[in-house]
Amino acid sequence: MCRMSQIHTPPTTTVIMNRVRLASLSPSLLAAATGCADGPELLLVDDPASAARARAAALDHVHRVAPTASGDVDVVVVRSVFVDDFGGAHVRLQQTEGGAPVLGGEAIVRLDGTGAIVEVQDRLAHDRDVPARPTVSRQGAVDLAVGEVDGADTPSTRASTSSSTASATARPSCGACRWSRWASRPSRRCRLSSSTRKTARATYATTTCSTSP
């Protein structure tokens, strides 16, 4: 089994391009497998310097090659970088809108063992007509989440639920920004989100619930 090493990096603001397959894997991977020492320095597993190189190469690529390809996308942040046992690197980016993460809006930049870009997979939302401020307050979202979980009105459950912080998430498909909360009780966990005051109830022991569009 191929072992993956993941290194989280601080958020970095940039723009990202639409999906484009750029090249096949570099022949230098074959040189790495046969122990050839000539050629570019290869990316290494569990090496912060290699992760930093991959991150810088990904950002440099999107700035130089297609700086205006995503003119209808606000910004993205680098969420993580990892290098696999074959020396390939994977840089994951998260789209944001007005500072709030866009639900499902992400891209993955893949590099070969020399740091050359192989592919960019784009799942970004390009319809930016989305308000970045929720229509329900933070505490209002907490109260809605607590109320939707059976038995959540008990003092112990309410205390543990209310102590957690709600987070804002932009969702273009719903045309609104919303709060996401987790409320739970034994054998039952339900995620509730609200940009309006409509919510969906959990029907199984572990179910994800969200606002109706």
Q: What is this structure's pTM?
A: 0.52
User: What is the per-residue pLDDT for 158?
Assistant: 46
Residue 127 within a domain: no
Phi, psi of 35 (to 5 degrees): 85, 15
Residue 131 within a domain: no
Residue 130 within a domain: no
pLDDT 10s digits, 161-198? 443 444 555 555 444 444 444 333 333 344 444 433 33
* Statement to judge: residues 159 and 116 lie in one domain: no
Tokens 């991959």: give the residue.
Answer: 54
- Taking Cα atoms as reference points, which of 50, 40, 69, 67 lies closest to residue 7? 50
Beta bridge partners of 188: 185
SS3 of the chain: helix, strand, coil, percent, to 5: 20, 35, 45
User: What is the per-residue pLDDT for 72?
Assistant: 57
Residue 22 within a domain: yes
**Rounded CA separation 178/133 (Å):** 8
Beta bridge partners of 82: 6, 90
Beta bridge partners of 213: none
Give the domain extent around 164.
138-208
Q: In which band, very low, low, confident or very high, does the pLDDT at 131 lie, cut at 50, 70 and 90?
A: low
End of a domain among 94, 122, 150?
Answer: 122
User: What is the per-residue pLDDT for 130?
Assistant: 61
- Cα-based distances in Å from 14 to 67, 68, 131, 160, 169: 10, 12, 21, 37, 19
Q: In sequence order, what DSSP letters do the residues of 152-165 get, joined into one string?
A: TTSHHHHHHHHTSP
8 Å CB contact between 95 and 79: no
* Span 120-127, average pLDDT: 74
End of a domain among 75, 95, 122?
Answer: 122
pLDDT 10s digits, 41-60? 888 888 888 888 888 887 77
pLDDT 10s digits, 101-119? 777 777 788 998 888 888 8
* Statement to judge: residues 27 and 94 lie in one domain: yes
* Statement to judge: residues 189 and 84 lie in one domain: no
Residues with Cβ < 8 Å from 15, sequence gap 6 or more?
Answer: 62, 63, 67, 70, 73, 75, 76
160-166 contacts, C-beta under 8 A, 24 or more apart: 165/138, 166/138, 166/141, 166/142
Task: Count up the domains in the chain and report the number.
Answer: 2
* Statement to judge: residues 48 and 19 lie in one domain: yes
Helix (H) or strand (E) holding 195: none
